[in-house]
A and B are shown apart, each in its own frame.
Chain A
Amino acid sequence: MDRPLILAAFIFALLLALPLLLPLFGAAYLTGLIIKAMLLAIAAISLDLLIGHGGMVSLGHAAFVGVGAYAAAIGLESGIEDILVLLLITLAVTGLVALVTGTLALRTSGVYLLMITLAFGQMIYFTLTSLAAYGGDDGLTLWNLATLFGSDVVQNGAGLYYVVLGTLLMVWWFVHRLSRARFGRVLRAARDNPQRAEVMGFAVKRYQLAAYVIAALIAGVSGLLTVQYAEFVSPALATWQRSGDLIVVVVLGGLASRNGAILGAFFIVIVEEVLGSFLHEWRLIYGPLLVLMVLFAKGGLSDLFAPRGTRRSAH
């Protein structure tokens, strides 16, 4: 067993046990908070596949959360209620959007990639605001939520909690396997030296496009579950500030670290909650905190758990 696996086992065991302990504290509020953090973690793990392993900094990743959320919401509005069918719709729509935008965006790299993903993100955002039939700018409250084979087990607090947790676990495992497989190694080789990877005979762009689409699909699933949790969908899910928040989570947690993404997500949600509870203007602290983190804590949260000597320096 290596260290990341032990840490992950610990995190997931804790998350699994929490609902049993929570009634001690006043459940609904805390359950909601943890679900929020787990949804953020799912999206962050997907972005980490792009940034951490692929070296592709996207400033438009939240748009895919938005696309996924809207695909699910529009499915629900047109009478499709089974969560598995909605999942298929979400995956199909997000995948298609990612395939088209990714093919164009990956013609560039570096800062230009950052800009073009930003541009595509904004285009998607404006498209969502124009869906007048589904609330336009204001978003849409959903009166019907998804069911699983006709049962509402995926709707109420505890049921949804385990659905989100299960999804997080699956996403964690999937990205873990992916990053350890040849796919992940090629992706990292292309991150560190694209020419060399190309010369070794790998179709670098194709691997990168695959990573881009996979990341978008996972973000889309996070969007679907966000709809199910919030019972509400709005274009605010897809703003570029949201994409910025996702980058914060990824970097805060430490690059190319799935545990880091989870810890980062929980850290952000908790900081927001705690700071926000005693200071309405909590962003006055949060902003400088980010700056200080970049200036002084280079390896991210997961580095705190890494054995001495193996800590990464700045990427």
Chain B
Amino acid sequence: MSMTLFLILCLNGVQYGMLLFLIAAGLTLVFGVMGFINLAHGVQYMVGAYLAFFFVQLTGSFFLAVVLSLGAALIIGLLLEYFIFRHLYTRTHLDQVLATFGIIIFLNELAKVLFGPATLSLSPPELLSGSIQLTETLRYPVYRLVTIFIGLAVAVGLFFAVSYTRVGMLIRAGATTPEMVSALGVNIQQLFMIVFGVGAMLAGFAGVIAAPIFAVEPGMGDNILIVAFVVIIIGGVGSIGGAFVAALLVGLIDTLGRSLATMVLSAVFNPSFASQIGPALASMLIYILMAAILVFRPKGLLPAKGANA
């Protein structure tokens, strides 16, 4: 195993981690602040990817498509909040699971009807399509590097927004005692709507930037949703910092695990056994990590203070 390959894997892991962070950030806020379990968050990622595909076809410009997709993802998120989610905040988790499960079924099927069941692909914009020489032996696609920087920028922005702005303060206060915040004259309904809209937009944004890297297909949000849940459990529900650390951890472990598990195993067991068990073990690593975290640190690595979920 060469150093170059290892570095590429690490970069891929970080890049996957950033994508996970964009999804998990919205999920953890909605979950932590409203105590609302939104299975449909993953499908909003899929919606983002399809929107990007649609708007690129329509306008021919990737950057214009990004802006339009973000706006559309926000509107779709707000509509879902207004018509459905708003009525579920005070319900049991079971009701929330069921209703959002229904939304997944609907949107997955809708994507299949509108765009066909086949996998679509989108090429990255001309400007970012090349690759760049990082070290003497290592070239890495510009687009993937850019997504890493975007993820970092969003993380910093969110961190400051939650820690130092008035809305962020209200979000943290609302997570602890929503009744008190509401009694102080804050429109908690509106606050929830803002949190939800931003979360939906971030998930959509993740879908948009993932579109040129992964395949765009119906159901693409389902698996990443589960991974995003793993991320927020590991990081601690309601905690942006925790989501960031956990997303990186999960991204790296998953990416490295998939490439290295078989190799590591074949050092101990015979090769055919290793090649059979390796991939399965690699897929399981993050779930094993999550189970371990839940058993030994049930509140996650960096729990938010006073989160009520």
Contact = CB atoms under 8 A, between A and B. Distances in A.
Interface of A: 51, 57, 59, 104, 107-108, 110-112, 114-116, 118-120, 122-123, 126-127, 129-130, 132, 240-241, 244, 247-248, 251, 255, 281, 283-284, 286-291, 293-295, 314-315
A241 B222 contact: yes
A178 to B, nearest CB: 21
Contacts of B104: 287
A107 B93 contact: no
B229 A115 contact: yes
A283 B105 contact: yes
A59 to B, nearest CB: 7
A287 B106 contact: yes
A74 to B, nearest CB: 15
Given A122-B226, A241-B222, A251-B94, A115 B106 contact: no
Contacts of A281: 109, 112-113
B153 interface: no
B102 A287 contact: yes
Interface in B78-130: 84, 87-88, 91-95, 97-99, 101-110, 112-113
Given A287-B105, A290-B102, A294-B99, A104 B94 contact: no
Contact of A110 (B93, B98, B290): B93
A57 to B, nearest CB: 6
B288 interface: yes
B233 A315 contact: no
B300 to A, nearest CB: 9
17 contacts: A104-B294, A108-B298, A116-B290, A116-B291, A122-B284, A251-B94, A255-B94, A281-B112, A286-B102, A287-B102, A287-B104, A287-B105, A290-B98, A291-B84, A291-B103, A293-B98, A294-B88
B135 interface: no
B276 interface: yes
Interface of B: 31, 37, 39, 84, 87-88, 91-95, 97-99, 101-110, 112-113, 222, 226, 229-230, 233, 237, 276-277, 279-281, 283-284, 287-288, 290-291, 294-295, 298, 309
Nearest to A240: B226
A280 to B, nearest CB: 9
A287 B230 CA distance: 25
B91 A314 contact: yes
B113 A291 contact: no
B129 to A, nearest CB: 33
Contacts of A315: 92, 94
Contact of B230 (A104, A119, A294): A119
A7 to B, nearest CB: 23
Nearest to A132: B276
Contacts of A287: 102-107, 109
A314 B287 contact: no
A104 B296 CA distance: 10
A209 B104 CA distance: 31
B105 A286 contact: yes
A22 to B, nearest CB: 31
A295 B87 contact: yes
B102 A107 contact: no
Contacts of B31: 111
B108 A283 contact: yes
Which of A59, A130, A240 counts the most B-chain CB atoms under 10 A from its CB? A130
Contacts of A57: 93-94, 97
Contacts of A122: 226, 284, 287
A111 B236 CA distance: 12
Nearest to A127: B280
A191 B223 CA distance: 30
Given A115-B294, A295-B84, A247 B287 contact: no
A240 B99 CA distance: 16
A122 B98 CA distance: 19
Contact of A111 (B37, B222, B281, B284): B37
Given A126-B284, A130-B280, A287-B104, A247 B112 contact: no
Contact of A251 (B84, B98, B112, B290): B98
B93 A247 contact: no
Nearest to A288: B106
A130 B99 CA distance: 32
B207 to A, nearest CB: 19
The 4 A-B pairs of least Cβ separation, nearest first, read A287-B106, A130-B280, A290-B102, A287-B105
A115 B110 CA distance: 27
A247 B283 contact: no
Contacts of B95: 251, 294, 314
Contact of A116 (B39, B237, B294): B294
B94 to A, nearest CB: 6
B238 to A, nearest CB: 12
A69 B105 CA distance: 26
Nearest to B219: A241
B280 A294 contact: no
